[in-house]
Each structure stands twice: as structure tokens, then as C-alpha cells.
Amino acid sequence: MTHPRIAFIGAGNMALSLIGGLIAQGVPGERIRASDPGAEQRAKASALGAQAVEDNAAALADADVVVLAVKPQVIKGVCQTLKASLKPGQLVISIAAGISCASLENWLGEIALVRCMPNTPALLRQGVSGLYANARVSAEQRQQAEQLLSAVGLALWLDEESLIDAVTAVSGSGPAYFFLLIEAMIAAGEQLGLPRETATRLTEQTALGAARMAIESDVDAAELRRRVTSPAGTTEAAIKTFQAGGFEALVAKALEAAARRSAELAEQLGR
């Protein structure tokens, strides 16, 4: 199998995770190039087996796939300098949060473009990404994009770009919601008399176990919850308290706020 040549523009946290994942999947290091102004970041990319360069244009010279992995705040300038070096047939994949396809096409011209929203567990190859392809992306390029994001977790296609705001609200910001619940459960466990270390380990392992059950079981989360909630039991006492406090409505309101903010940021960053 011939692997596409991949050029990463920016060799920060996310690019290095993707490079590590691709190498682990068996993509040869000579097919991966990474450019970054920082010598330390280039050394990290080299240590993973990729070819590290300082010049962005040199990175994408003969690439099949160009991954824009710089911060949203600098992406406009990076695109403006890359535009002259891009060749027809190259696929551009942007992982920059809040940068729309319209903005990228405005800065780069008529390109085959995949916009995606990964999340931080990608650093442990346990991420999930929402992907949107513009109309110029071929079936082969879709496969290339999916294979690339699959190197750090699950990759799910979206039919409409506007759904990226919902993905941001659910999985992009999602790890922080679980961290908040973990924090609150540890504090509550301590109030009930557990040593902090014990409350922490009980909570973290419970989160991992529940997530694995939800993923691996053939029934949905609601059914799993019903199965561990006996009438008049301890779990029911807690769940009733959550629901009396408006838990589901609060979660819906929080995710709506995140999606709204994602759309607002895209509007500001795209100017």
C-alpha cells in the first residue's frame, strides 16, 4: 500500500499526537514532514520519525495531504503565505478550532478541504473528531482524512459544516464537563469522610469503568442506568436528587452555550 505524503504545518501538541499515531499505525516516517519555527518542536517531530523542516513551503512541496495544525490566531497569516505554494490535487486538512471552510477558501483559494474538530484525549490516542469535507474532496481524499484522524481515536463524518459547533459543544469541550463531574464527586466523597486520595481513585476508576461499559455494551446508557438503579435504593436516591435539581435541562443549556460560543468565535476568527 502506498501511503500519502503528509505535511504538517505546525508541530505542536496535536500534530505530534497525530504523527505518533500515524507512525504507530505503520506509516513510514519518510512520508511525514512537519514544519515549525521552534527547534524544540522540530526535534520532537524528528524523534517520532518524521522529517522536520523550518520552512512551511518546503514542507508541502510534494505532499498529497497538508495538515494545518497551527493555532487559530495565526492561521490566516500562515494560509496567506502558503497559498502560492499549494498545488492542485493537494488535500488540505484543518484542525484549527473555529476556522470555517469559507475563511480557509477565502485565504487559500479553491482547494479540496476537510475541516475537523478533534479533542484533547487525542493526546492519548483516545480522541474523537467530527469531520466535514467540502465538495472538492474526492472519495480517496476522504479516506486519507479519515485514516489520519483515526490515528488518534474515532473519526466521524458530518453532512453539514454547521454541525461542527455541535461537535465542539459535545466532544470538543466535553472532556472538561467530565473533569468537572470528577472534581465534584471527589469533593463530595471527601465530605462523606473518605481520604482525598481514596475519593480520587474511586471516582476516576468509576468514570473509566462507566465509559467502557457505555461503549462496549449493546444497550444504551439509559438502560445501563436503569439496570443499576433498584427501586428505593441508594442510586435512585442520588439520581432523584440530580433530576430534582434540573440536571438534564442544565446539561442542555450548557451545551447550547458552548455551541453558540463556537459559532461566535468562528465569526470573529474568520475575519
The whole-angstrom separation of Cα 16 and Cα 140 is 24
By CB under 6 A, tell whether 164 contacts ligand NAP. Answer: no
Distance in Å, CB of 74 to ligand NAP, minimum: 5
Integer angstrom CA distances of residue 246 from 33, 83, 160, 243: 50, 50, 31, 5
Q: Beta 127-133 vs 91-94: how paired, if at all?
A: unpaired
By CB under 6 A, tell whether 174 contacts ligand NAP. Answer: no
Distance in Å, CB of 174 to ligand NAP, minimum: 11
By CB under 6 A, tell whether 74 contacts ligand NAP. Answer: yes
Cell of 238: 442520588
Q: Of 10, 20, 21, 270, which lies in the binding site for ligand NAP, with binding defined by CB under 6 A? A: 10
Distance in Å, CB of 69 to ligand NAP, minimum: 5
Instruction: Strand 51-53: give its sheet, edge to edge.
Output: 51-53, 32-35, 6-9, 65-68, 91-94, 112-117, 127-133, 153-157
By CB under 6 A, tell whether 78 contacts ligand NAP. Answer: yes
By CB under 6 A, tell whether 126 contacts ligand NAP. Answer: no
The whole-angstrom separation of Cα 118 and Cα 126 is 10
Q: Of 21, 31, 50, 56, which lies in the binding site for ligand NAP, with binding defined by CB under 6 A? A: 56
Q: Would you tell me which residues interact with ligand NAP (CB under 6 A)?
A: 9-15, 35-38, 41, 56, 69-72, 74, 78, 95-97, 118-120
